[in-house]
Amino acid sequence: MPQAVPTATEHREFLSGLVERVTYHNLENGYCVLRVKVRGHRDLVTVLGHAASVQPGEWVQASGNWEVHREHGQQFRATHLKTAQPTSLEGIEKYLGSGLIKGIGPVYARKLVKAFGEAVFDIIERNPRRLSEVTGIGPKRAAKITSTWADQKAIREIMVFLRSHGVGTSRAVRIFKTYWADAVALVTENPYRLARDIRGIGFKTADMIAEKLGIPKDAMIRARAGISYTLLEAVDDGHCGLPRDELLSMAETLLEIPSVILEDAIRFELTDGVIVADSVGDRECVFLRRLWEAERVIVGRLTVLREGRPPWPDIDADKAILWAEGKLGVSLAASQKDAVRMSLASKLMVITGGPGVGKTTLVNSILKILTAKGVHVLLAAPTGRAAKRMTEATGMEAKTIHRLLEFDPTTGGFRRTEEMPLQCNLLVLDETSMVDVPLMASVLRAVPAKAAVILVGDVDQLPSVGPGQVLADIIESEAVPVVRLTEVFRQAATSQIITNAHRINAGQMPVLTPPKDGETTDFYFVDTADAEDAVRKVVEIVQHRIPRRFGFDPIRDIQILTPMNRGGLGARTLNLALQAALNPAADQPAVERFGWTYRPGDKVMQIENDYEKEVFNGDLGIVTTIDADAQEVTITIDGGEGVYLFGELDEVSLAFATTIHKSQGSEYPAVVIPVTMNHYMMLRRNLIYTGVTRGKKLVVLVGQRRAMGIAIRSAECGRRWSNLRELLRTN
């Protein structure tokens, strides 16, 4: 892809002229390519920039810099672009004839300019009856012209208002498309609604707009919005709610508002039903309503599902187990046989256990027996990578939860609900530890009451990134039959990854003795002196040592997993170091957005669900092309291609390194995990255990043994405020 080469410019330049042609205009983010007639230039000038609305004939004012494109020659890249209605007769005719105004094409544009001259805009707006003076314009056409003109005027006024309050063009377009003609009134009345209604706008942006509108810091409208914001901040930490006293304390710190005002704000929010008060044990808590309701949906659906007989005829379990062993060529352990018997007699059960304990063999045995009896089975997992692994392990199609439930991007909900449930006799849900409260509620809503459900997952891994700890709460409630597999099978026990994972989970240090000369293992520990030494060694190990010794591709096969995002050994620092080593800057296009620079060949991760592209949080991809003219990046993810506008690159981040939390549900051929005292605040047993169990063929820990010891001794991972376990116990 040709690259634009900037010319040497010390100061921003200014340019103005008549828009002759709009070559390209992206309505989603406002990016446009214009051909402009500029005084002093013999040929039309190509101007690149962002404008919410732009039409031929308009007068454009731009500030930016000239650059020379290898294919397209000299062009002007504008950092700021302002358009205005034309004032010349030539511009007015071109503007009216551009197709912007319904009922006016080039022919009528010429007639209108001839009849009214420079007063034509005033005639359309203030005296539309006079339009009938032009031959061919009757009452219907005149009404269409005046109506469209009013709409266009409203768009311009809204854009001017939003930009004057610090809202960029791409966000202004989103706001307009959400509120249309009511945008100015709604935003002025309550700018905090933007955080609730518009993707990409959070409380802080809405707060900035509110400040520009003159809304005081201690205004009740801000206090009320701040309560929800504080709860959302807690949701990011995995909570469904907060104790009331903690909520008040956190909100007071975040918002700098006296607690007396915040108490009133909580009362107003409770009255309006935005939040809900409830008790968790002996603590008075406050929940976001949607999460409070989702927990009750889970409890209600699980209560229904566990009642009654399974939706298949009685099965002689011992004969079925013997038959399944023969078909699969396996010999089930006693604990697995007990689990098969339970599954054949239950409508609802949980299967949990660590790596190498036979969860896959057990599930395959159950599926073999039930499908032979004609049971209609559906398989699902939270992520694309987990669903793919499930498909490979079972030989049956597994879908992501979002595909299974048929997510509808137009409504933001699922098509599969109680009204249109899934068609199955049995749903098997894998990697259940990753499923948060809202998603589990959606899954269970869609399961018919007569069907059976098997939840599979490793409860000792990190809980879900989203709110709640659903699998742990279900198991600890003792309201559902649970099979916990603990026996590591002989073949799996030869893997040091699996052996050490179980040692870590049991609170024991892994075996860190290096192999003898000439021998290899699948688990290594590399000692480091400090964080800087660790970064150097991580880069060296990924770039040279692992590829030389094991033949793994450093970008596609090796994943660096770190306990935290920031800091000297955080994902951000490691990504920059690894990008420089593995995909250095060269004579190739690049784009810098949202704090990252992207180049073809970079490894990236989707960091939020994008249902239109069908890519989800945690999906990995490779940047393949960057088109500076179209302002687009193409990323290959799981064999498919997704096109991202430059303004959408906040949906991805570099992913040579990622956090252990983001790796849940995934497996990689090789993982490298830095563990040092820099990560002190994050060092927990389940964090290291989760990271180690992501490695399929090789795990390399890089760090300090003291830090490993602290992590393994720290079993307490902090309470998540949720009411699910208590509700299940009492139902």
Residues in the annotated binding site for ATP: 356-360
Q: State CA 147 to chain mean position distance.
A: 40
For 420, phi then psi, to 5°, come to -135, 75
Q: What is the C-alpha to C-alpha distance for residues 648 and 583, in angstroms, rounded to an integer?
A: 22
For 241, phi then psi, to 5°, come to -160, -170
Binding residues, by number, are: 356-360
Q: What is the C-alpha to C-alpha distance for residues 645 and 51, in angstroms, rounded to an integer?
A: 15
Q: What is the C-alpha to C-alpha distance for residues 620 and 603, in angstroms, rounded to an integer?
A: 7
635 SS3 class: strand
Which helix (H) or strand (E) segment holds residue 155: the answer is helix 139-164
Q: What is the C-alpha to C-alpha distance for residues 277 and 292, in angstroms, rounded to an integer?
A: 9
What is the DSSP pairing of strand 45-50 with strand 426-429? Answer: unpaired
Q: State CA 39 to chain mean position distance.
A: 47
Exposure of 45 in the CB half-sphere (CA atoms within 13 A)? 26
Whether the Cβ atoms of residue 561 and residue 659 lie closer than 8 Å to each other:
yes
Apex 536 CA angle, 593 and 706, nearest 5: 110
- Work out the angle between the directed axes of helices 384-394 and 359-372 (0-180°, nearest 10): 60
Whether the Cβ atoms of residue 154 and residue 181 lie closer than 8 Å to each other:
yes
Q: What is the C-alpha to C-alpha distance for residues 391 and 383, in angstroms, rounded to an integer?
A: 12
CA 265, 266, 271, 272 torsion: positive or negative?
A: positive
- Work out the angle between the directed axes of helices 244-255 and 259-272 (0-180°, nearest 10): 120
Q: What is the C-alpha to C-alpha distance for residues 498 and 698, in angstroms, rounded to an integer?
A: 11
574 SS3 class: helix
Q: What is the C-alpha to C-alpha distance for residues 89 and 97, in angstroms, rounded to an integer?
A: 12
Q: What is the C-alpha to C-alpha distance for residues 139 and 618, in angstroms, rounded to an integer?
A: 57
DSSP string for 161-224: HHHHTT--HHHHHHHHHHHGGGHHHHHHH-TTHHHHHSTT--HHHHHHHHHHTT--TT-HHHHH
Tell me the β-bridge partners of 636.
622, 641
Q: What is the C-alpha to C-alpha distance for residues 41 and 560, in angstroms, rounded to an integer?
A: 53
Whether the Cβ atoms of residue 634 and residue 643 lie closer than 8 Å to each other:
yes
Q: What is the C-alpha to C-alpha distance for residues 364 and 359, in angstroms, rounded to an integer?
A: 9
Q: What is the C-alpha to C-alpha distance for residues 184 and 167, in angstroms, rounded to an integer?
A: 12
For 564, phi then psi, to 5°, come to -140, 170
Query: Starting from the edge strand earliest in sequence, which strands make up the sheet with 668-675, in order?
Result: 523-527, 695-703, 668-675, 558-562, 657-659
Give which of 492, 486, 522, 454 is closest to 354, Cα–Cα: 486
Whether the Cβ atoms of residue 60 and residue 87 lie closer than 8 Å to each other:
no
SS3 per-residue string spanning 87-135: CCHHHHHHHHCCCCCCCCCHHHHHHHHHHHHHHHHHHHHHCHHHHHHCC
Alpha-carbon separation of residue 722 from 247, 286, 478, 611, 731 (angstroms): 14, 10, 16, 28, 16
For 76, phi then psi, to 5°, come to -110, 115
The string over 364-391, giving b where at least 16 C-beta atoms fall within 10 Å of a residue's C-beta and e elsewhere, is: bbbbbbbeeeebebbbbbbbbbbbbbbe
Q: What is the C-alpha to C-alpha distance for residues 612 and 179, in angstroms, rounded to an integer?
A: 21
